[in-house]
């Protein structure tokens, strides 16, 4: 298993889970791009958004809901935040395991 997020999911690379449910967990990004930078990650290995299938619709919904509650728990629910899923090379994806970024705690500008 060569996937860092699968290793974190399996507990072989110990990392604090800020929240989790049966399908999805939340961790701090190791290289934060904002005062709050969380990652919402499915336990199941899915390479990217491009690999998502119709039967993953509920999983994506759970990711969005856990992102929302993690943002609220981090204290940025009211001031706002950004949810991002990078996909593939042009999308800037660097870890090949589906994940959603939760970014906030400062004014975020363009999508650059
Ligand atoms: P992306 O560029 O959308 O694929 O995002 C991958 C993110 O994972 C980057 O923001 C990295 O900083 C983050 N990252 C990589 N390895 C780890 C790790 N071991 N723990 C937490 N975050 C990580
Ligand atoms: Zn994986």
Using one digit for the tens of pLDDT, what is the confidence trace for 72-106?
A: 999 999 999 999 999 999 999 999 999 999 999 99
Known catalytic membership, residue 55: no
Which of 31, 33, 82 gets mutated to test ligand 1 (max ligand atoms within 8 A of its CB)? 31
Interacting residues of 2 by C-beta distance below 8 A, sequence separation 6+: none
Counting ligand 1 atoms within 8 A of each CB, the residue from 15, 29, 42, 63 with the most, and so the one to mutate, is 29
**How many CB atoms sit inside 10 A of residue 99's CB?**
23
Q: How far is the CA of 9 from the centre of ligand 1 (A)?
A: 14
In this predicted structure, what is the pLDDT of residue 28? 98
**Residue 111 confidence (pLDDT):** 81
Closest CA to 44 of 33, 32, 53, 31: 53
């Amino acid at each position: 298993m060569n996937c860092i997020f699968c290793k974190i999911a399996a507990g072989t690379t110990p990392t604090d889970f800020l929240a989790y449910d049966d399908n999805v967990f939340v961790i701090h990004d190791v290289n934060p791009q904002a005062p709050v930078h969380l990652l919402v990650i499915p336990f199941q290995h899915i390479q990217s958004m491009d690999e998502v299938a119709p039967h993953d619709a509920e999983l994506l919904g759970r990711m969005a809901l856990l992102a929302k509650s993690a943002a609220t728990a981090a204290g940025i629910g009211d001031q706002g935040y950004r949810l991002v899923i990078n996909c593939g090379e042009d999308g800037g994806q660097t870890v090949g395991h589906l994940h959603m970024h939760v970014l906030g705690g400062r004014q975020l500008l363009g999508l650059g």
